[in-house]
């Protein structure tokens, strides 16, 4: 077998962390190849019109690590100008009531006085906001001062030392509010969407970090996560990086404790590399290459300690304007009631983003619905819309749907009655849903970390959601910086580099 191409770095997968690491390494003058599993630009062109793969708001635009990455890539000022508040209201459709909140929660007191007129909540909410601000400042300092070493998180002394920098948040700051009080949902309802770690294992300091960013706006980047991916992809290609989508990896080639390259199905030659990144669910990537248990042992990756406890199912709709309430705009969060099977993992929660643009006489909706990992997808669209109808979030929506589409169920684009809009059945390979993870062994260090970014193969790294899942997008960018720094130090970077590992 001959080597036809040789790269300083080959990236397997499509997670944003891997794409960011690839862009940084290319920016530092190395030859980089990305072999994606899903669309790198975060856009799906299969339905009648292109849709975004991930409609989650980008809340961390003022984080130090966010600026660190995009400043080095030369696009920070452009991104800064594109940050903006989410258009419309935040609607909390809860089993215990409903709050319709303005940007920045400016009318929160008025809504609570209407919904819970006898509730004394002011002191608890002020304490919550004080702790959230303190936790955000502490996490930003840990990341900015290079104290959050992911490798150190696996040593008890190091983890304890890092934890000492975080505020003591062991007590419930929202006491004495009842368990079903709307403020509790306001503080935690977004966690299953923002964090890749189950809320049941997420550290309280990390939960308050997300809450602080959420309650300030919420803000988003114009174009959302796909816009971030577009910036990274553009910087990767500008600096000579390559993306090849038609190659399917058949084997990792290992020599003397190092990955030496990859072989492909249908090709006699292979590609060599100096370093490699797995930038997706390791079990998914490694499962395509051979027996997971054997590869896990060879790479030293503790995959047996991870569990997928929930998944994010995304559904896109185009709906007649006449079928939507004029009061429905912005972002709607609908939580399941206990009898509907809600769980501490967020199962049953729906996040509905309403595109403010009217297209002809229709509007677009993107729904992220948290489901159990084994939930069947055959009729999930219909069940989800029935549930949102019963909750009076999208009443009578079925008859007004022009088309619905999900990349996850393999059903293609359907009309409002569940019939295919194509003359032939879709020939689609369903796209994997984003997982919400948990540790089945020890609790996650600091309530944020699961996998180390290093492996037993000294030139193989992990850069994906499973490394620092508790910090969400911030964690992905932090991992990208750590891995890029392990491969090659910055050259003439615009700011001092931040390293989270060796």
Which residues touch 409 (CB under 8 Å, ≥6 apart)? 377, 378, 380, 381, 430
What are the start-end ranges of the E strands in 158-248?
Answer: 219-221, 242-243
pLDDT at 488 over 90: yes
What pLDDT was estimated at residue 432?
86
What pLDDT was estimated at residue 73?
96
Higher pLDDT, 418 or 250: 250
- Tokens linked to 381: 């669209």
Strands 258-264 vs 270-279: parallel, antiparallel or unpaired: antiparallel
Cβ-contact 185, 211 below 8 angstroms: no
pLDDT at 207 over 80: yes
pLDDT at 497 over 60: no
Q: pLDDT by residue (tens digit) across 260-318? A: 999 998 888 899 999 999 998 887 777 667 666 666 776 777 777 889 999 999 999 99
What pLDDT was estimated at residue 492?
45
CA neighbor of 382 nearest in space, from 372, 368, 392, 397? 397
Winning range, highest mean pLDDT, from 48-52, 201-205, 301-305, 328-332: 201-205
Supply the mean pLDDT for the chain. 86
Q: pLDDT by residue (tens digit) across 396-445? A: 888 899 999 999 998 888 887 777 887 655 556 688 899 999 999 888 88
Query: What number of H helices and E strands is found in the chain?
Result: 14, 19
Angle between helices 472-487 and 16-27 (to 10 degrees): 40
From residue 237, how far is each of 16, 22, 280 by CA, in Å? 15, 10, 20
Cβ-contact 320, 345 below 8 angstroms: no
Determine what percent of the chain is predicted with pLDDT higher than 90.
48
């Amino acid at each position: 077998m001959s080597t036809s191409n040789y790269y300083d770095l080959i990236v397997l997968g499509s997670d944003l962390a891997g794409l960011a690491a690839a862009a940084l390494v290319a920016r530092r003058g190395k030859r980089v190849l990305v072999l994606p599993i899903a669309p790198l630009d975060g856009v799906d062109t299969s339905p009648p019109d292109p849709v975004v793969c991930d409609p989650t708001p980008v809340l961390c635009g003022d984080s130090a690590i966010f600026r660190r990455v995009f400043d080095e890539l030369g696009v920070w000022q452009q991104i800064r100008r594109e940050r903006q508040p989410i258009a419309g209201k935040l609607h909390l459709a809860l089993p215990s009531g409903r709050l319709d909140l303005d940007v920045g929660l400016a009318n929160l007191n008025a809504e609570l006085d209407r919904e819970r007129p006898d509730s004394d909540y002011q002191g608890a909410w002020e304490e919550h906001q004080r702790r959230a601000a303190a936790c955000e400042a502490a996490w930003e300092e840990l990341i900015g001062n290079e104290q959050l070493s992911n490798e150190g998180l696996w040593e008890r002394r190091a983890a304890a030392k890092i934890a000492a920098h975080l505020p003591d948040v062991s007590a419930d700051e929202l006491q004495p509010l009842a368990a079903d009080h709307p403020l509790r949902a306001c503080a935690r309802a977004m966690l299953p969407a923002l964090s890749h770690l189950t809320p049941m294992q997420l550290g309280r300091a990390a939960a308050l970090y997300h809450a602080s960013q959420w309650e300030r706006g919420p803000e988003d980047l114009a174009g959302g996560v796909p816009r971030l991916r577009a910036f990274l992809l553009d910087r990767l290609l500008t600096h000579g990086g390559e993306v090849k989508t038609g190659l399917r990896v058949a084997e990792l080639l290992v020599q003397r404790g190092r990955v030496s390259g990859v072989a492909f199905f249908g090709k006699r030659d292979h590609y060599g590399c100096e370093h490699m990144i797995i930038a997706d669910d390791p079990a998914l990537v490694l499962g395509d290459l051979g027996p997971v248990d054997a590869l896990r042992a060879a790479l030293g990756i503790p995959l047996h300690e991870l569990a997928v406890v929930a998944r994010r199912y995304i559904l896109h709709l185009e709906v007649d304007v006449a079928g939507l309430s004029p009061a429905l705009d912005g972002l709607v969060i609908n939580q399941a009631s206990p009898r509907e099977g809600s769980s501490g993992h967020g199962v049953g929660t729906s996040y509905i983003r309403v595109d403010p643009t009217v297209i002809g006489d229709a509007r677009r909706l993107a729904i992220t619905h948290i489901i159990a990992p084994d939930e069947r997808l055959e009729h999930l669209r219909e069940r989800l819309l029935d549930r949102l109808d019963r909750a009076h979030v999208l009443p009578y929506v079925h008859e007004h749907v022009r088309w619905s589409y999900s990349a996850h169920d393999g059903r293609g684009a359907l009309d409002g009655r569940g019939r295919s809009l194509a003359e032939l059945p879709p020939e689609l390979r369903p796209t994997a849903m984003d997982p919400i993870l948990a540790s089945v062994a020890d609790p996650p260090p600091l309530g944020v970390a699961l996998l180390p970014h290093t492996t037993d193969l000294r030139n193989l790294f992990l850069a994906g959601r499973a490394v620092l899942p508790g910090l969400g997008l911030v964690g992905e960018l932090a991992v990208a910086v750590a891995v890029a720094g392990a491969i090659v130090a910055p050259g003439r970077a615009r700011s001092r580099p931040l390293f989270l590992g060796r």
